[in-house]
């Protein structure tokens, strides 16, 4: 976007882009939230079983409020599960949804393809070095494997720092 553009024009542009990519946005949100809804639905069912057992066993109405809360949460989270499942099933069936999902996968797949290509080249280099220096082959493979493990660990640490910073900012 242009730095000197009218703020109203920028807002209209952003609004139009959100409207155009709304199926993709809703789809990505549904994919992100569905596991959470599944987990919370299962927890709600377990809570209903526990509080129902406690009410039946102790015949005390102290557990009635938690049981009602568990029932309400089951309806809410179960409904969220059903809605997200429906969105995940329906968006890819529309022509706009198919195109937007394909475009998103193409854009996000580029780093994966680059990584796979670099891994292939590295493996070819290791094979050539093993042919040239057969006595050192085990050491070379171990060094490469250790480097790959360190890169993976570095990625996990980076993700952990992002999550930590996000939690601290909220």
pLDDT at 14 over 90: no
The predicted structure's pLDDT at residue 144: 83
**pLDDT of 1 above 60:** no
pLDDT at residue 45 in the model: 95
pLDDT at 111: 67
Residue ranges of alpha helices (H) inside the chain are 7-20, 22-58, 64-90, 95-132, 137-169
Mean pLDDT, to the nearest integer, of 152-168? Answer: 72
Q: How does the average pLDDT of the chain come out, rounded?
A: 83
Domain ranges within the chain, ordered by starting residue: 1-93, 109-170
40 burial (CB, 10 Å; 0-12 / 13-18 / 19+) is middle
Does pLDDT of 2 surpass 60?
no
Q: What is the pLDDT of residue 121?
A: 84
107-134 mean pLDDT:
80
Asked if 78 contacts 38 with a C-beta cutoff of 8 angstroms, the reply is no
pLDDT digits (tens, 9 = 90+) for 31-83: 899 999 999 999 999 999 999 888 888 877 788 899 999 999 999 999 999 99
In the chain, what is the greatest distance between 2 CA atoms, to the nearest angstrom? Answer: 79
Report pTM.
0.56
């Amino acid at each position: 976007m242009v730095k000197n553009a009218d703020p109203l024009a920028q807002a209209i542009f952003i609004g139009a882009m959100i409207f155009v990519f709304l199926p993709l946005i809703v789809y990505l949100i549904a994919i992100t939230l569905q596991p959470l809804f599944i987990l919370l639905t299962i927890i709600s069912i377990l809570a209903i079983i526990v509080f129902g057992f406690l009410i039946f066993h102790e015949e005390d109405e102290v557990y009635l409020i938690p049981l009602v809360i568990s029932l309400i949460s089951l309806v809410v989270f179960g409904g969220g599960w059903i809605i997200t499942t429906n969105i995940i099933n329906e968006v890819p069936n529309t022509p706009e949804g198919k195109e937007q999902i394909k475009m998103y996968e193409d854009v996000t797949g580029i780093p994966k393809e680059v990584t796979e290509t670099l891994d292939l080249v590295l493996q070819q280099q290791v094979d050539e070095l093993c042919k040239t220096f057969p006595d050192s082959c085990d050491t070379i493979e171990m060094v490469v494997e250790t480097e790959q493990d360190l890169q993976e660990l570095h990625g996990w640490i980076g993700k952990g720092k992002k999550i930590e910073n996000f939690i601290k900012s909220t």
